């Protein structure tokens, strides 16, 4: 019997913790058995984990896939030794990262069937890129008839002149299939058509298709920006670096109608 070193665990509590990290009950018991014994054959691990030998193979395979166990040959026997518990930390961090990416999708589904507004706040230089990553994610989810983005905004040049932090970005290689309609203050219109093609700021930052732009009298110019999608209103204060994303279809529709009214008066 290949048992090298016995360690004592409160197996019930330890297994529960491992289940919280995503392992099944039997996977947790097998991994703990490997830690307790230092490694063993299928028979050894089944005996220590108190699991029927015939039912252990599937769980061993998954633990090997997760790199929580490693198979080695000892003579004529296949022995399974445990990975360093640091591997559990890596898996936990990976799960948290994947959940962070998936959570906005869950939020969107909830918001579509609820009257409750979901509001996200970002503030300061530390959260600047986090905010724009989230915004890009929102725009990437726009499909079909809901792929129009309405922007009461400011020019690319005006934004980057606010501070060097707004120049610290890497353009996505692929364009998102959206239609961008923008209203800018007339004073921000450049004599160089190439500069106007960079407007508004997010067109250049996100490598979006060229925006449709109309210009409003400078007496109505604004220091921030409002970005409206089919179900979100995104508020941007460039100077103070404050950002808010409100998921509420009624508010988004209200802002869109307001935008369309101004847009039509600027023909």
CATH no. of 115-265: 3.30.870.10
Largest CA distance in the chain: 86
pLDDT tens-place string over residues 57-85: 888 998 999 999 999 988 888 899 999 98
Q: Is pLDDT at 10 greater than 70 in this prediction?
A: no
Q: What is the mean pLDDT of residues 11-35?
A: 81
* Domain ranges for the chain: 11-89, 115-265
Q: Is the entire prediction scored with pTM above 0.85?
A: no
CATH no. of 11-89: 1.10.10.10
What are 62-67's contacts with CB under 8 Å, separation 24+?
Answer: 62/27, 63/27, 63/30, 63/31, 66/91
């Amino acid at each position: 019997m290949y048992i090298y070193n016995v360690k004592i665990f409160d197996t019930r509590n330890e297994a529960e913790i491992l289940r919280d990290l995503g392992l099944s009950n039997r996977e947790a018991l097998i991994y703990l058995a490997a830690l307790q014994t230092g490694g063993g054959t299928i028979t050894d691990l089944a005996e220590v984990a108190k699991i029927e030998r015939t039912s252990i193979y599937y769980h061993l395979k998954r633990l090997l896939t997760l790199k929580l166990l490693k198979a080695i040959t000892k003579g004529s026997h296949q022995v399974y030794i445990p990975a360093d518990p640091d591997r559990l930390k890596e898996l936990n961090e990976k799960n948290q990262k994947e959940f962070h990416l998936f959570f906005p999708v869950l939020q969107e589904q909830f918001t579509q069937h609820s009257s409750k507004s979901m509001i996200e706040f970002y503030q300061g230089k530390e959260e600047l890129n986090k905010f724009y990553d989230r915004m890009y994610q929102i725009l990437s989810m726009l499909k079909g008839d809901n792929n129009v983005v309405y922007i009461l905004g400011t020019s690319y040049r005006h934004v980057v002149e606010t501070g060097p932090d707004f120049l610290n970005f890497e353009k996505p290689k692929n364009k998102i299939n959206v239609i961008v309609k923008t209203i800018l203050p007339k004073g921000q219109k450049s004599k160089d058509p190439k500069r106007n093609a960079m407007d508004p700021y997010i067109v250049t930052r996100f490598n979006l298709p060229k925006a449709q732009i109309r210009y409003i009298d400078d007496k109505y110019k604004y220091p921030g920006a409002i970005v409206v999608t089919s179900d979100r209103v995104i508020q941007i204060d460039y100077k103070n670096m404050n950002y808010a994303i409100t998921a509420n279809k009624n508010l988004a529709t209200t802002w869109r109608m307001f935008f369309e009214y101004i847009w039509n008066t600027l023909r």
